[in-house]
Amino acid sequence: MGADTAEVAIRVTGVSKLFGDAEQPVRALDDVSLAIRDNEFFTLLGPSGCGKTTLLRLIAGFDHPTSGSIELHGTDISHLPPYKRSVNTVFQNYALFPHMSVEQNIGFGLEMLGKPREEIEHTVDAMLRLVRMQELRDRRTDQISGGQQQRVALARALAPHPQVLLLDEPLSALDYKLRKEMQIELKRLQHETGITFIFVTHDQEEALTMSERVAVMNAGRVLQVGPPHEIYDRPIERFVADFIGDTNFLGARVQGRNGAAATLRLGCGLELEADLPPELAGASEVTVAVRPEQVTLAPAGEASLKGRLENIVYFGTDTHYHLSLPGGERFTARVQNTRGRRELFAPGSEVGIVIGAGVVQVLRD
Amino acid sequence: MQQAEVRRNVMLSVPALVVLAFAASGPLLIMLVYSFLGAGDYGGVVWHASLEGWQKVFLHRDIFDDTLSLADAHLSIFWRSLSLSFMTTVLALLFGFPTAYFIATRPPRSRNVWLFLITIPFWTNLLIRTFAIMEVIRNQGILNTLLVELGVIVEPIQILYTDVAIMLGMTYVYLPLMILPLYAALEKLDFRLVEAGYDLYATRARVLWRIIVPLVKPGIVAGCILVFIPALGAYVTPRVLGGGKNMMLGNLIELQFGQGHNWPLGAALSITLLVIVMVALLVYVRTVQRGSEHG
């Protein structure tokens, strides 16, 4: 999928990881394959327990795959200990060494690599500058704030200049404003260092705003890999569409086919055209997803699909219109607010819903 | 109201203060006083001031020409006590650390089982356990028989009644006192820091030395103190395994209160032991502190 054109930093091939006893193993990862490009900001996104942290730990070397292989720039590292991989981790709780100063923490990796003293000092200086922590270099790690600890953890992991940097939900412990700042900071650091970042999060917004590509995971499997807009606009599975953003799910019957395109008849009676994924070529009943902000509302007479307006919820930037379709299905439309705009529709009235071409996405269940 | 609270807290501490006064400070004071009195012919003290007891701690008066010389016998016992206690502490740390690490890394439920097993030796009398060690290391004992049978050695090695026997015995007896504080420290250790160490290119040995040891240092200090102090005053183990020939301080003190009929000397030796412990602790704690300042 284009991953072969750029150089691959991390190639995960058919990796499974089983925990627990042999009789009742827990399958944390189930035949996962991924190619993460060099110099890419790649995100593993999924709910807790989906296997994203397990995959990160396998890449870091804290655990080893039950089957399958992990390559770093073409070298199999599946069974190397963590200290023999040019991969560093920013831990969720930062895991800074409490018995060392900020400076000693950042220099630790270089010291373990046996770098000469002048080089260590030089790099630590550069790292302190990079994360803007020069003034606090002599502090103990419990004498600095959470956001500052976060920066030290980043500097410590970046100092040995690893080929790949792993970030395990590093922003989850920060408050909202600090998290926004650090998101921008992380993008800047990735850009300045040119290191491949693999970022783990359960926050879909974080994944969409920061990543070049996202892998959505659930129950130990990778469901979809792609750039944020593709994941959002063209989810191939119901789980992906549901996990990322808000979606209207509608049942549909396949009426006729013309190559990949098919004519679908929705439960409410509306007929429309959409592309069918190849594995659904023979299906007669499918589910389609329509994003609430990709439809427009119109007076009842101007649209082929009508719904009864049940509820209006004002959100500041936009307004959500909750509608009930003729077949009984629920539908939400989201309309951007502009200044001084008045309510267009009254609750209880009939409203037309305009679904444009290419907005409908047929899902695998 | 606050005064009432203070008064109640003082009241609560009274039982402990009484015990301390009567059971700890009292006997010590008696020892201090006795060490400056004369010796009774059949034990006990005669109530006149005398420095004889203290003099005999360090000096030896010749029976024939009445000249004074250094009490070599006592000094060698001091030295044996110090060196054997030191070696015991080192051995207990070497055996105790891996054991405590092993227990601390088990799942929580099996940890309690392992800790329970560690405490089993305490169920049996110390004397009986010491005789059991004797049975293992004596010339016709299990260890020597096994080694001879296996052809590792031709003749049994004399272990019993040597300093080595005392050292082994004390290590066995005091090992739990090392394991328990080490376990308490290791159990609280954040093992994510260990992972962070591996992640930053530290090998196992370096993670142990640079991350685990500095973080569990309070446990190591506590364990070493808990082993070293009782080892220095040990009585039963050197008595049984040293065979009365290789005396330690505890045995020497007992001798003065028993067959030696010299209570002032025994009291002076006891106070000397106390001072040695205090000085050793002071030196140890200072060294540890200096180490962490550099660390």
Express each pLDDT in B51-102 by its tens digit.
988 998 988 888 788 888 888 889 999 999 999 999 999 999 999 999 999 9
The reported pTM is 0.84
Determine whether the interchain pair A108/B203 forms a contact, defined as Cβ–Cβ distance below 8 Å.
no
User: A265 pairs with which residues across the strands?
Assistant: A253, A271
- Per-residue pLDDT tens digits for A84-123: 999 999 999 999 999 999 999 999 999 999 999 999 999 9
Rounded to the nearest integer, the mean pLDDT of chain B is: 91
Closest CA to A166 of A43, A290, A300: A43
ipTM surpasses 0.90: no
Residue A95 has its nearest CB partner, among B193, B215, B292, at B193
Average pLDDT over residues A232-261: 88
Work out the minimum CA distance from A83 to partner chain B, whole angstroms.
4
What is residue A6's predicted lDDT score, i.e. its pLDDT?
65
A197-216 pLDDT, tens per residue?
999 999 999 999 999 999 99
Percentage with pLDDT > 70 across chain B: 98
pLDDT value for A299: 86
| pLDDT value for A270 | 82
**Which CA distances in Å does A18 have to A29, A78, A273, A303?**
7, 15, 43, 53
Minimal CA–CA distance to A319: which of A299, A344, A302, A298?
A344
Which ranges of B120-262 would DSSP assign to H, the alpha helix?
126-137, 142-149, 163-188, 191-199, 204-207, 213-215, 217-232, 236-241, 249-257
B295: pLDDT strictly greater than 60 = no
- The answer on pLDDT for A301 being more than 90 is no
Q: What is the predicted pLDDT for the residue at B70?
A: 84
Amino acid residing at A113: L
CA of B289 vs chain A CAs: smallest distance (Å)? 13
Q: What is the mean pLDDT of residues A325-348?
A: 83
User: Can you tell me whether residue B23 is helix, strand or coil?
Assistant: helix
> d(Cα A275, Cα A264) in Å, to the nearest integer?
10
For residues A38 and A196, is the Cβ–Cβ distance under 8 A? Answer: yes
Q: Is the pLDDT of residue A5 over 70?
A: no
What is the predicted pLDDT for the residue at B197? 97
| Beta strands, E only, chain A | 8-19, 26-37, 41-45, 67-72, 75-76, 87-90, 164-168, 196-201, 213-218, 221-226, 248-258, 261-266, 271-275, 285-290, 295-299, 305-314, 318-324, 330-336, 350-355, 361-363
Instruction: At A8, give phi and psi (nearest 5°).
Output: -90, 125
- Whether residue B139 contacts residue B162, with contact meaning beta carbons closer than 8 Å, is answered with no
What's the average model confidence in pLDDT over B266-291?
89
Q: Which two tokens stand for residue A346?
A: 């009254």
H helix or E strand, kind and range, residue B37: strand B37-39
Q: Hey, are the CB atoms on B206 and A112 less than 8 Å from each other? A: yes
For residue range B105-160, what is the model confidence (pLDDT) as tens digits? 999 999 999 999 998 888 889 999 999 999 999 999 999 999 999 988 898 989 99
Higher per-residue confidence, B260 vs A107:
A107
Side-chain half-sphere CA neighbours of A69 within 13 A: 7
> With contact defined as beta carbons under 8 Å apart, do A320 and A351 qualify?
no
Residue of chain B whose Cα is closest to the Cα of A104: B295
Asked whether the beta carbons of B236 and B130 are under 8 A apart, the reply is yes
CA-based Rg of chain B, rounded to a whole angstrom? 24
Confidence band for B42, pLDDT divided at 50, 70 and 90: confident
Locate the chain B residue with the closest alpha carbon to A62.
B195
A146-158 and A176-193 helices cross at what angle (nearest 10)? 20
B206-241 tens-digit pLDDT: 999 999 999 999 999 999 999 999 999 999 999 999
Nearest by CB: B199 against A89, A98, A113: A89
Tell whether the model's pLDDT for residue A2 goes beyond 50.
no
A190-to-A10, A154, A169, A202, B63 alpha-carbon distances in Å: 16, 11, 16, 20, 88
Return the pLDDT at B2.
Answer: 76
Q: Which of A53, A112, A123, A161 to mutate to test the interface with B (most CBs of B within 10 A)?
A: A112
Is residue A288 helix, strand or coil? strand
β-pair partners for A98: none
pLDDT at A341: 64
* Distance in angstroms (rounded) separating the CA atoms of residues A302 and A324: 18
Which of the 8 DSSP states describes residue A354?
Answer: E
**Of the candidate ranges A82-91, A189-198, B26-35, B115-124, the one whose mean pLDDT is the lowest:** B115-124
What local confidence, expressed as pLDDT, does residue B293 receive? 57
Report how far residue A199's alpha carbon sits from residue A172's, in angstroms, rounded to the nearest whole number: 12
DSSP string, A5-27: TSPEEEEEEEEEEEES-SSS-EE
Q: What is the Cα–Cα distance from A27 to A258, expressed in whole angstroms?
A: 41
CA distance B103 to chain A (A): 20
Predicted pLDDT at A1: 44
* The predicted structure's pLDDT at residue B292: 65
Indicate whether B183 pLDDT > 80: yes
Distance CA B197, CA B213 (A): 13
> A146-150, A347-351, B205-209: which has the highest mean pLDDT?
B205-209
Q: Are A61 and B198 spatial neighbours (Cβ–Cβ below 8 Å)?
A: yes
A56-75 confidence digits (pLDDT tens): 999 999 999 999 999 999 99
Mark which residues 70-109 of A lie under 8 Å from B by CB: 81-83, 87-89, 91, 93, 95-99, 108-109
